[in-house]
Amino acid sequence: MTKTADTSMQADVLIVGAGPVGLTLAMDLASRGVSVILCETRRFAEPPNVKCNHVASRTMEQFRRLGVAQQLRDAGLPADHPNDVVFRTTVTGTELTRIPIPCRRDRYTETEGPDAWWPTPEPPHRINQIYLEPILLKHTAALPGVTLLNRTRFERFTQDAEGVSAIATDMDSGATRSIRCRYMVGCDGGSSPVRKQIGAKLEGTAVIQRVQSTFIRAPQLRALIPGKPAWSYYAMNPRRCGTMFAIDGHETWLVHNHLNAEEPEFDSVDRDTSIREILGVGPDFHYDIISKEDWIGRRLVATRFRDGRVFLAGDAAHLWVPYAGYGMNAGIADALNLSWLLGACVQGWGDEAILDAYEAERLPITEQVSQFAMDHAQKMIRARRAVPPDIEAPGPAGDAQRAEIGREAYALNVQQFCCGGLNFGYFYTGSPIIVPDGEHRAPPYSMGEFTPSTVPGCRAPHFWLADGRSLYDAFGPGYTLLRFDRSVDVRPLERAAAAYRMPLTVLDIETASLPKAYAHRLVMCRADQHIAWRGAHLPADVYDLVATLRGETRRERGRRRALAWEGVLA
């Protein structure tokens, strides 16, 4: 029975869902002075599911800016536990190949390996969500301007020209909460009530593969695994193919049993038998099931990410097979793309139309990444079905067979576990707040490969400043203009930005070691590290450039010219 509304609350932004995506969005908004209410059905610090095992480099770069990168780096697997990905006939069987990935102790210093050369201040980090999320939660809960409403269920909303009115229910008392906000973001997962209420639908491939997933405790297992430990173990044999992740590096493990097409239900095969065939252990080996984490691999993207003042991010907007760790990480990329746009509007320097950039930028990228993930999933399904029956046979013929399978497994999987393209290669086109210069197109990228570029829309290639800081450490909260030649007078642009209160940081670059992609004297970077404009000199109309950067529509710019606002503002 619903009680009468007894609580009324207000904030700039209401976030529905306090998983990693919602928490990251709240952290970034709070850093911009935006007040936030987080609505979450779970109790405070209630453990999350054992889901994501990988924090991408791009995500770690942003966590560095938000002040939590080192805390995360210090958590998860033991500091000296290898982050390698190993392929074996079974987890305890013969090794086929290995993708070397440094342990967290050596992550900043290691120079050998397929991802050790990456141009970033923050390499990726292998950590399970059960360790990641509590750190994000503790940090977010302590931020001024953030209110956490646990055991609170979002019910419905209405919106008008000024904001959003939402109704939520206290799940313990049954009391109704009324929440008024300027904007609302649904970070409420694959079954998102927010998505359903804005009328968006998920479209794509509903089932790519079912995975029988089991979180187990097996203290004796590590001693049975020959050779160097790893973070991820792929078992490839004709009986059962699966994947196992080390969770604490000692006794807890997550075992994925990849079901075949002729196994349409999670109980189509015996769970215990499958786990033993993946691990390569007999009936006398003891383990305990902590939880069952079965999931379905899909490729589904929402038809839209926005309705007026209401937005979708993370699994609420897209679902796909989490190859390359790009389930949670793509959701966090959504959050960090949206947060600075919302911040611009709340702070007053961004035109409301700047928010059009969110869907214009993230929806095409989501389609691209989901296709990468689905294509890789289908290749993996074919590879599992093609495991030869004699892969475990002793002798030279078996050795040759295993060597060939190992080469194929390495070539196929190094691109997902060391996915440079998905980290640094994607770019935004067709955005209303990015100024194309027509010089070059952004270079193509794949899951694993990319070419650094300063074409507007691309990520600003990283380099270290003369004082030892990361380039990104010197970025301001709004736009940052990189000036590579002090003789270029940028004061007209600074005056135009100040007239609109648009935050602009001018960063003079004096280091001699620059990526060759930086061929222009001026490069304008956004808060999310993407390039918005570049040139050899300022444009003739700096107010027009500022108008684009702050999201003004062409109609508004024409109206401003008609009223001769430039002269007034100057």
Supply the pTM of this predicted model.
0.95
Copy the structure tokens of residue 338: 């949206």
Question: At 372, is the pLDDT very low, low, confident or very high (cuts 50, 70, 90)?
Answer: confident
Average of per-residue pLDDT values in the chain: 94
Question: At 50, is the pLDDT very low, low, confident or very high (cuts 50, 70, 90)?
Answer: very high
Is the predicted pLDDT of residue 566 greater than 70, yes or no? Answer: no
Strand ranges (DSSP E) for 40-149? 54-55, 85-88, 95-99, 125-126, 146-149
Q: Alpha-carbon dihedral of residues 10, 11, 12, 16, nearest 10 degrees?
A: -110
Is the predicted pLDDT of residue 4 greater than 50, yes or no? Answer: no
What pLDDT is attached to residue 3? 44
Closest by Cα among 323, 326, 319, 327 to 302: 319
Is the predicted pLDDT of residue 341 greater than 80, yes or no? Answer: yes
Q: CA 433, CA 557: separation in Å to the nearest integer? A: 13
Copy the structure tokens of residue 224: 């049975």
User: Tens digit of pLDDT for each residue in 267-281?
Assistant: 999 999 999 999 999
What pLDDT is attached to residue 438? 84
What pLDDT is attached to residue 557? 60
User: Tens digit of pLDDT for each residue in 301-331?
Assistant: 999 999 999 999 999 999 987 765 678 999 9
β-strand pairing of 202-217 with 295-302: antiparallel
What pLDDT is attached to residue 567? 52
What pLDDT is attached to residue 560? 58
Q: CA 499 → CA 452, 505, 547, distances in Å?
A: 34, 15, 11
Q: CA 245, CA 465: separation in Å to the nearest integer? A: 37
User: Tens digit of pLDDT for each residue in 170-206?
Assistant: 999 999 999 999 999 999 999 999 999 999 999 999 9
Summarize the confidence of residues 506-519 as an average pLDDT.
92
Strand ranges (DSSP E) for 264-420? 288-292, 295-302, 306-307, 310-312, 318-320
What pLDDT is attached to residue 23? 98
Summarize the confidence of residues 240-263 as an average pLDDT.
96
End-to-end CA distance of the chain: 61
Summarize the confidence of residues 500-525 as an average pLDDT.
95
Percent of the chain with pLDDT over 70: 95
Copy the structure tokens of residue 376: 């890789």
Summarize the confidence of residues 338-365 as an average pLDDT.
97
441/220: higher pLDDT: 220
User: Tens digit of pLDDT for each residue in 58-91?
Assistant: 999 999 999 999 999 999 999 999 999 999 999 9
Q: CA 236, CA 88: separation in Å to the nearest integer? A: 6
